[in-house]
């Protein structure tokens, strides 16, 4: 069943890419016509904004968040077919993306954590007359994927998760887990907790959740680098997901699109009337409660990790695309701006919910579109 789900997702990606390319290309052809209806004119203008003055055959290099890579891959396929621009997004982790961006190696970077003050300062060296800014573009729940034979539904809460990932709870039939899952047949099996080996915004957001909800059980300061002792490590969300899939008794954290094919997702007891499973809808409910805390053109958000709202999933991340507000490289600016315009568009955001990501709520994405229009 999970394999069928993955196959359906692959077919959906292909269909979306083709339909997106056809829509952009068809709209673009309207620019060459004489008179047209107002609706056709609107479509033509949208297409012009999507491809802009990007040169066919141009290549852009980008890197960063592995959590958003499945979304970027879908967007790149549609955009490249329509506009002829090649985008190489490595997905090497948020830390690697921010570092490379601030070294002037990338057109844009992806990060699951907003830029820190010192990173903004460093960005001024490559953004002539400007600085790096955070544009929230991809939302999604951080799933706790697990591989425990015979357990199809698993509920955990923040204190229990903290103890699992801090090697304080080491077996699946522990009393704390039994209390949350009275009807489950929990095996006498060692827990293998997987975390990221690379610097990761997913790690940053997951540990922010633990700090916000159960500080007494999570004594670490948090950040992109994993700090707790013990456990297994792997690079990237794909690496952690692969480790969980291949290891009986494993649990790990990664973006929801990596769940499937033998890996199930934990539901979280938040204190609401019922445990909440990770989904695009439950993540969007949480993101809608976020506050913009960035200044100027920066749109960094503060998420509510401690939500108890009905149906809101608390371990949610937002991936930012990082770009210069001013001083982008002249040779890559048109294509970068065109790509960002496309992925922030209504069409681009609609792709997300079909591949287990959460679209950015309207009130926030509207600000993102306006900011993209002003970058130079």
pLDDT in tens, 186-200: 999 999 999 999 999
Question: Tokens 């001083």 appear where?
Answer: 327
Share of the chain above pLDDT 90, in %: 78
Q: What is the pLDDT of residue 7?
A: 40
- Report which DSSP code applies to 280: H
Mean pLDDT, residues 81-104: 95
Mean pLDDT, residues 70-82: 94
Q: What is the pLDDT of residue 101?
A: 97
| Residue 22 pLDDT exceeds 50 | no
| Residue 25 pLDDT exceeds 70 | no
pLDDT band at 278, cuts 50/70/90?
very high
Mean pLDDT, residues 35-58: 53
Contact 313, 112 (CB under 8 A): no
What mean pLDDT, rounded, does the chain reach? 87
Structure tokens at 143: 């799933």
Mean pLDDT, residues 317-328: 96
pLDDT band at 38, cuts 50/70/90?
very low
Mean pLDDT, residues 77-106: 95
Q: In whole angstroms, give the CA distance from residue 149 to residue 52.
A: 52
Mean pLDDT, residues 150-169: 98
Contact 256, 265 (CB under 8 A): yes
Contact 209, 158 (CB under 8 A): yes
């Amino acid at each position: 069943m999970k394999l069928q789900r993955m196959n359906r997702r692959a077919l959906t990606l292909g269909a979306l890419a083709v339909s997106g390319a056809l829509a952009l290309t068809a709209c673009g052809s309207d620019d060459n016509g004489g008179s047209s209806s107002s609706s056709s004119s609107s479509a033509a203008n949208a297409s012009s904004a999507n491809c802009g003055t990007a040169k066919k055959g141009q290549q852009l290099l980008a890197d960063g968040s592995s959590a958003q890579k499945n979304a970027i891959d879908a967007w790149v396929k549609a955009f490249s077919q329509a506009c002829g621009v090649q985008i190489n997004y490595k997905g090497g982790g948020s830390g690697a993306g921010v570092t490379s961006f601030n070294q002037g190696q990338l057109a844009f970077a992806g990060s699951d954590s907003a830029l820190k003050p010192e990173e903004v300062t460093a960005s001024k060296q490559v953004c002539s007359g400007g600085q790096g800014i955070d544009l929230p573009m991809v939302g999604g729940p951080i799933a706790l994927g697990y591989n425990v034979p015979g357990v199809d539904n698993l509920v955990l809460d923040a204190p229990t998760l903290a103890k699992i990932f801090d090697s304080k709870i080491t077996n699946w039939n522990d009393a704390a887990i039994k209390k949350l899952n009275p009807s489950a047949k929990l095996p006498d099996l060692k827990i293998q907790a997987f975390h990221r080996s690379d610097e990761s915004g997913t790690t940053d957001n997951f540990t922010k959740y633990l700090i916000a909800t159960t500080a007494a059980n999570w004594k670490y300061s948090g950040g992109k680098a994993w700090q707790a002792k013990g456990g297994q490590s792997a690079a990237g969300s794909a690496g952690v997901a692969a480790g969980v899939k291949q290891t009986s008794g494993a649990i790990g954290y990664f973006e929801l699109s990596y769940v499937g094919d033998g890996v199930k997702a934990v539901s979280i007891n938040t204190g609401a009337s019922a445990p909440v499973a990770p989904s695009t809808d439950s993540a969007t409910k949480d993101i809608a409660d976020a506050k913009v805390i960035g200044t100027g053109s920066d749109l960094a958000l503060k998420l509510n990790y401690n939500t108890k709202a009905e149906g809101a999933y608390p371990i949610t991340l937002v991936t930012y695309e990082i770009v210069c507000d001013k001083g982008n490289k002249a040779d890559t600016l048109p294509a970068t701006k065109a790509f960002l315009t496309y992925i922030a568009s209504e069409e681009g955001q609609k792709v997300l919910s079909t591949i287990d990501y959460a679209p950015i709520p309207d009130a926030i994405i509207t600000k993102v579109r306006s900011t993209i229009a002003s970058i130079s």
